[in-house]
Amino acid sequence: MRDDPGGQPLTERGARTRERLLTAAREVFEEHGFLETRVAHITRHARVAYGSFYTYFPSKEAVFLEVADRLFADMTDHDLVPSAGPAPAARIRRANRAYYEAYLRNAKMMAIIEQVATFNAEFQELRRKHRAASAERSAKAIARWQRAGFVPSDLDAEMASRALAAMVDHSLYLWLVQGNDPPGTDRLLDTLDTLTVRALGLPS
């Protein structure tokens, strides 16, 4: 059971209240943005007494960080380069589409996250941690493909992983956050697949 700010284990009722606050916080952040959101907005939306918020979170920033932490876990659960196996190109295509679906689910919050990342150092570190963990998993997959003879051995697996992740991530940010998911998504995903496969020297 998750502890409260005072370090005491939560009761089942307390855990449910905390989850209501997290759910409400995400919805309010998506509606108002980070800067305009107040704790009162969150508690009103969750139908929880204002003072109860501070039983579970010390500040608006703290609840935002946990909302973002969960979002990043959802996003980075879909590695851009999945584990080695037969038909690597097909696995990359499936991974890119899984990441697209995750990004689509989180597009509203991603817009707010990009804003907060410009001024909140703690949040920047959280984002860096999740991205680094995802890139490390992908780099290990590329290295396994190198040992299996799928990917040229002279490619820097770590840098390739980071570059490909940046390409896919920023492309989807521009597409879904800035462009409001315009027509042609399949063309975009097909192009990202092709670029990834060719960058790694994989057979298509």
Overall average pLDDT of the 186-199 stretch: 94
**Which residue type occupies 204?**
S
Overall average pLDDT of the 6-16 stretch: 77
Confidence of residue 1 (pLDDT cuts 50, 70, 90): very low
What is the reported pLDDT for 201? 93
What's the chain's average pLDDT?
87
**Which residue type occupies 15?**
A
Give percent of the chain with pLDDT exceeding 70: 89
What is the reported pLDDT for 83? 54
Overall average pLDDT of the 53-76 stretch: 92
The Cα 112–Cα 56 span in angstroms is 23
Q: Please write down the HEC assignment for all residues of 97-139.
A: HHHHHHHHHCHHHHHHHHHHCCCCHHHHHHHHHHHHHHHHHHH
Overall average pLDDT of the 71-86 stretch: 67
What is the reported pLDDT for 6? 54
Beta bridge partners of 9: 3
What is the reported pLDDT for 118? 86
pLDDT of 50 over the 60 cut: yes
